[in-house]
């Protein structure tokens, strides 16, 4: 994961996206009535400066093939980061809670849709919580969070 995200090993995107797909398919097969196929995939946006520095948004690289394989829509720019924030990885859990408040906006009407939010790493959950707040205000019917890694961080 670190090689993919921080060292520009973008050739790993397809393998990692395939792992996400296989995991979701396994969960879906176990309980297709509870786990619904999303109508649209969204990705956690980077601030434009961070995107420029890194050269790519790792979640976009993951979502593009996932949407194709699942035959659902992918809205590249539905979510946007409206203000620059310090990187979450450099903050303690207590600081992360406040770092992303009002940092995201949604520019598309997603009311009534089932959304899968693609992220690479979920640590405290503050990023996805803030984005889910924005999506719920847009009237999204159902939100799933898909990630490659779930880590834990102490407060």
Q: Tens digits of per-residue pLDDT, 25-55?
A: 999 889 888 888 999 999 988 766 665 666 6
Number of H helices, E strands in the chain: 6, 6
Q: What is the mean pLDDT of residues 74-91?
A: 78
| 105, 130 contact by CB (below 8 A) | no
What is the spatial distance between Cα 55 and Cα 122, in angstroms, rounded to a whole number? 21
Domain range list for the chain: 2-150
Share of the chain above pLDDT 90, in %: 34
Q: Is a pLDDT exceeding 70 seen at residue 70?
A: yes
pTM exceeds 0.85, yes or no: no
Quick check: 60 and 76 in contact, CB under 8 A? yes
- 48 within 8 A of 12, measured Cβ to Cβ: no
Would you tell me which CATH number, out of the four given (3.10.20.30, 3.40.800.10, 3.40.50.2020, 3.40.1800.10), belongs to the domain 2-150? 3.40.50.2020
Contact 96, 48 (CB under 8 A): no
Cβ atoms of residues 121 and 147 within 8 Å = yes
């Amino acid at each position: 994961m670190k090689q993919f995200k921080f060292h520009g090993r973008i050739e790993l995107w397809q393998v990692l996206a395939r792992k996400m797909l296989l995991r979701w398919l396994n969960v879906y097969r176990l309980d297709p009535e509870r786990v619904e196929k999303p109508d649209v995939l969204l990705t956690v946006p980077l601030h434009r400066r961070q995107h420029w520095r890194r050269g790519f948004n790792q979640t976009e690289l993951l979502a593009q093939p996932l949407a194709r394989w699942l035959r659902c829509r992918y809205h590249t720019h539905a979510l946007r980061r409206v203000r620059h924030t310090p990187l979450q990885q450099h903050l303690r859990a207590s600081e992360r809670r406040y770092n992303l408040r009002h940092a995201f906006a949604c520019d598309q009407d997603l009311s009534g849709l089932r959304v899968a939010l693609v992220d690479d790493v979920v640590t405290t959950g503050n990023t996805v919580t803030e984005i889910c707040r924005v999506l719920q205000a847009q009237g999204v019917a159902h939100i799933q969070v898909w990630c490659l890694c779930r880590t834990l961080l102490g407060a």
